[in-house]
Chain A
């Protein structure tokens, strides 16, 4: 947290108080604000915040079934009573919806929830985000639709926070009025933090109105705008306000040392409001790791700022196949619907044959579920952009990767891109299906510097591990000239570099990763062939091949 002067004395000092304020705001105007995302580990502090919710709050966990949310036929009850019993969906109930482990919500639940949030009359949601890893965040679609965001990470040791109970029903009166230029101020502020979505400034406006309302004022004051911006804009920031466009990572100033002496651009400042106050308010709650996120490239920024993880693209279930008539063995799951469907047409006949009530399910009705379990492929490209390789044929390697990308796009493969040059390797692009992004990232890849081959292999292995956990089948394509000269610790020791690279290669071999090594050096090198053998990968020396040829080799050896 920064210790710079608070824009307003009434601004809650701690995350817990901010969370409490945000929840009371959402309770006041659920249609406008939709809810709160609370990023916090499970613990007494979070419990204290959650405990302020009204008693009739509906609590669900991420593993909830779609039917429980949207309602539908209650099978158990229907079977017992012999008549259709419909169950109300949890989403149809009024009041708060508390979702724990929201970062684990499956895609289809997110979709339904998003759809509901777009409508009026859905109770406010409190999404508990326990995600610790950067790729473990709440789905972007939800983050986009929920106005408020609070993180409790700073004050985990806080004792006895002062919290007020959250009202159970929304405020029905008129919203606080606001000055005409407030709209412009918030829109400008959103722009300066690189927030593109137009929902954000609108959320900020409604937040300011809610804050004014909670203080029983009927007009919005500058202090309200500052608090509102801190709660509804800060977490969406993709750049720091000193640079008008999302900056190229390294040049941006650290969020920990905000440079308040810098003059604020007069063109974007409204005359009636000190925008520095607003900026300060947002900055005060900016996540401290914003800089590191920026350093990870724009995708990391987008992902964290808006929460889009690549988990959802990875973990697709198999394509459902028609259920098969079969008695379930221990490993198969009964498909209840299919079973009932099979039994249904016979009910009249069977009913006359037996006397007990309820539907008659005969063993011949039983069906089991079947899925075509086909996991998606992830191609991990590790591209050598070191000085030696760049001289030789970085452009060709880029071209080959792009060609292959356009093919993988048709087969719906996922791709990840690792580049290594200078002191370290970098995951330029986490697993994605977006050709647009990959192409952009690849084109911007400069060449030069040493060859940290071991570091590249390490990142490749880690990426593969995560992918395997998400149910993908990773494969590795390493494009290098094999002149490893930077060791894992970043030192320029050729011998250590080779040793480290070989050690990493053995580790990757252990992961069972299929792969191919393309030698893009001017002359094929035995060393690289050895490395390929260690990796258990094909080795293809390509002394004189155009991008087209490279692409073919890659495709053939990974197919």
Chain B
């Protein structure tokens, strides 16, 4: 199924920026998108995958290995032929079983052939791509714990049914949810590098434009894609250029100092805030073809990198984004 072009998504700039940054710097290992239904969360995730350049994989490899050497021994990949495929986006549905996520003994092969083989799960499929969890706040706790563990280590370890398998599982975790249905545990919140709150556009013209584009896309997808291809290509080029430039982006002492001061003033827990701020700032600088991270980059990144890391202050009526913005203004001027 063809995805809606990323470039044609109306508004929702914070969400688009956050997703582009993870495409530039996959070590920004997650984006959390919270907002009402029908605001285009899933559309954006799928659109991003279609925007990204294809990846090279070994044909038939269940974990999308890049080189024949990287193909794990437990797979049955015979010849090491390379092919290119779109960046994987794997949907993780609610109510999914642990077996499906991590992979398990291939019951079919075991029954029929009496062989002990590993059947890879969703984590394997998502390797080198995106793992998308809709309604992440309703996911069962034990699955969340498992995901956190893997996202942290970049490796999936399966010890069950007499199997002992490990394989790389590096993916960008994209979680979406509706805040009215419950919230995420702080531990989980913290693992998402970036967090965006989105709302339906309140401007009627913007809403009309959304529907107009969506209607045009569904009526004639090919023509619509063709119209947007130049802009898609432009964004794709910028992402690719930014990826190459990423290591050369300078992070001056002043930027580090700014980041630290900002996090301290906000009282964000741990050092993850600073680290994310710097990484995201660097990715933004790279995307905008700037040679170094400057204060303005940090200022723009701060709301999406820090708002979900604040200590909860239930007596504060203002949202955390407002707090971050206010504080950023104070600290960074």
A residues adjacent to B (C-beta < 8 A): 32, 66, 73, 78-79, 82-84, 106-112, 114-115, 118-120, 140-141, 144, 175, 180, 183-184, 186-188, 190-191, 196-202, 205-206, 268, 299, 302, 306, 308, 312-313, 316, 319-320, 322, 337, 340-341, 344-348, 351, 359, 399, 402-403, 405-406, 409-410, 412, 432-437, 439, 443
* B window 63-104: CB within 8 A of A: 91, 93-98
Known A84-B111, A144-B38; 14 more pairs at CB < 8 Å = A78-B111, A108-B93, A108-B94, A115-B134, A175-B219, A187-B208, A190-B207, A198-B38, A202-B215, A320-B97, A340-B110, A359-B111, A410-B185, A443-B317
- Whether the pair B215, A183 counts as a contact (CB closer than 8 A) is yes
Tell me the bound Cα distance from A403 to B214 in angstroms: 44
Given A348-B114, A402-B315, A73 contacting B36 (CB threshold 8 A): no
Smallest CB-CB separation from B42: which chain A residue?
A118
Residues of B within 8 A of A141 (CB): 37, 135
Instruction: Find B107's partner among A190, A341, A432 (CB 8 Å cutoff).
Output: A341
Residues of A within 8 A of B207 (CB): 187, 190-191, 198, 201
- Whether the pair A341, B105 counts as a contact (CB closer than 8 A) is yes
- Whether the pair B110, A344 counts as a contact (CB closer than 8 A) is yes
- Whether the pair A345, B162 counts as a contact (CB closer than 8 A) is yes
- Whether the pair B95, A109 counts as a contact (CB closer than 8 A) is yes
Smallest CB-CB separation from A186: which chain B residue?
B211
* B window 137-182: CB within 8 A of A: 137-138, 140-142, 160-162, 178-182
When each residue 179-206 of chain B gets 1 if its CB lies under 8 Å from chain A and 0 otherwise, what string results? 1111101100000000000011100100
- Whether the pair A306, B37 counts as a contact (CB closer than 8 A) is yes
Smallest CB-CB separation from A184: which chain B residue?
B208
Q: Does B116 contact A (CB under 8 A)?
A: yes
**What is the distance, in angstroms, from A300's C-beta to the closest C-beta of chain B?**
12
**What is the distance, in angstroms, from A107's C-beta to the closest C-beta of chain B?**
6
Residues of B within 8 A of A120 (CB): 1
Query: What 6 A-B pairs come out closest when comparing CB atoms?
Result: A108-B95, A197-B38, A344-B110, A433-B182, A347-B114, A111-B94
When each residue 106-118 of chain B gets 1 if its CB lies under 8 Å from chain A and 0 otherwise, what string results? 0111111110100
Residues of A within 8 A of B53 (CB): none
**What is the distance, in angstroms, from A434's C-beta to the closest C-beta of chain B?**
5
Instruction: Find A199's partner among B38, B96, B116, B215 (CB 8 Å cutoff).
Output: B38
- Whether the pair B211, A347 counts as a contact (CB closer than 8 A) is no
- Whether the pair A344, B116 counts as a contact (CB closer than 8 A) is yes
Smallest CB-CB separation from A116: which chain B residue?
B93
Q: Does B257 contact A (CB under 8 A)?
A: no
- Whether the pair B40, A198 counts as a contact (CB closer than 8 A) is yes
Tell me the bound Cα distance from A110 to B94 in angstroms: 9
Tell me the bound Cα distance from A161 to B162 in angstroms: 62
**What is the distance, in angstroms, from B138's C-beta to the closest C-beta of chain A?**
7
- Whether the pair A434, B183 counts as a contact (CB closer than 8 A) is yes
- Whether the pair B110, A313 counts as a contact (CB closer than 8 A) is no
- Whether the pair A403, B186 counts as a contact (CB closer than 8 A) is no
Q: Can you name 29 A-B residue pairings with CB atoms under 8 Å?
A: A84-B112, A108-B96, A111-B93, A111-B94, A114-B134, A118-B42, A119-B1, A180-B212, A183-B208, A183-B211, A184-B204, A184-B208, A187-B204, A187-B208, A188-B204, A191-B207, A196-B38, A201-B207, A202-B214, A313-B182, A319-B141, A320-B97, A340-B111, A341-B105, A344-B107, A347-B110, A347-B114, A403-B314, A406-B312
Tell me the bound Cα distance from A415 to B318 in angstroms: 22
Given A82-B112, A406-B312, A437-B180, A191 contacting B37 (CB threshold 8 A): no
Instruction: Find A313's partner among B138, B160, B312 (CB 8 Å cutoff).
Output: B138
Tell me the bound Cα distance from A488 to B40 in angstroms: 47
Tell me the bound Cα distance from A435 to B98 in angstroms: 28
- Whether the pair A196, B200 counts as a contact (CB closer than 8 A) is yes
**What is the distance, in angstroms, from B176's C-beta to the closest C-beta of chain A?**
11
Q: Does B210 contact A (CB under 8 A)?
A: yes
Q: Does B325 contact A (CB under 8 A)?
A: no
Residues of B within 8 A of A302 (CB): 180
Tell me the bound Cα distance from A215 to B317 in angstroms: 53
- Whether the pair B211, A201 counts as a contact (CB closer than 8 A) is yes
**What is the distance, in angstroms, from A185's C-beta to the closest C-beta of chain B?**
9
Tell me the bound Cα distance from A403 to B105 in angstroms: 46
Which of B181, B204, B214 has its CB near the most chain A CB atoms (within 10 A)? Answer: B181
Tell me the bound Cα distance from A82 to B135 in angstroms: 40
Q: Does B17 contact A (CB under 8 A)?
A: no
Residues of B within 8 A of A437 (CB): 180
Residues of A within 8 A of B204 (CB): 184, 187-188, 191, 268
Given A402-B315, A432-B182, A433-B181, A351 contacting B114 (CB threshold 8 A): yes
- Whether the pair B183, A433 counts as a contact (CB closer than 8 A) is yes
- Whether the pair A115, B180 counts as a contact (CB closer than 8 A) is no
Tell me the bound Cα distance from A319 to B97 in angstroms: 11
**What is the distance, in angstroms, from B291's C-beta to the closest C-beta of chain A?**
39
Tell me the bound Cα distance from A306 to B37 in angstroms: 10
- Whether the pair B215, A205 counts as a contact (CB closer than 8 A) is yes
Smallest CB-CB separation from B108: which chain A residue?
A84
Residues of A within 8 A of B317 (CB): 443
Q: Does B39 contact A (CB under 8 A)?
A: yes
Residues of A within 8 A of B179 (CB): 434, 436
- Whether the pair B114, A345 counts as a contact (CB closer than 8 A) is yes
Residues of A within 8 A of B222 (CB): none
Residues of B within 8 A of A412 (CB): 141, 185
Tell me the bound Cα distance from A205 to B40 in angstroms: 18
Q: Does B253 contact A (CB under 8 A)?
A: no
- Whether the pair B183, A435 counts as a contact (CB closer than 8 A) is yes
Residues of B within 8 A of A402 (CB): 314-315
- Whether the pair A405, B314 counts as a contact (CB closer than 8 A) is yes
Tell me the bound Cα distance from A559 to B265 in angstroms: 34
Tell me the bound Cα distance from A206 to B217 in angstroms: 13
Smallest CB-CB separation from A205: which chain B residue?
B215
Residues of A within 8 A of B215 (CB): 183, 202, 205
Which of B38, B113, B137, B138 has its CB near the most chain A CB atoms (within 10 A)? Answer: B38
Smallest CB-CB separation from A351: which chain B residue?
B114
- Whether the pair A341, B181 counts as a contact (CB closer than 8 A) is no
- Whether the pair A66, B105 counts as a contact (CB closer than 8 A) is no
Q: Does B218 contact A (CB under 8 A)?
A: yes
Smallest CB-CB separation from A196: which chain B residue?
B200
Tell me the bound Cα distance from A434 to B182 in angstroms: 4
- Whether the pair A436, B211 counts as a contact (CB closer than 8 A) is no
Tell me the bound Cα distance from A435 to B109 in angstroms: 47
Smallest CB-CB separation from B34: which chain A residue?
A436
- Whether the pair B112, A83 counts as a contact (CB closer than 8 A) is yes
- Whether the pair B134, A187 counts as a contact (CB closer than 8 A) is no
- Whether the pair A345, B315 counts as a contact (CB closer than 8 A) is no
Smallest CB-CB separation from B145: which chain A residue?
A319
Tell me the bound Cα distance from A319 to B180 in angstroms: 24
- Whether the pair A198, B208 counts as a contact (CB closer than 8 A) is no
**What is the distance, in angstroms, from B108's C-beta to the closest C-beta of chain A?**
4
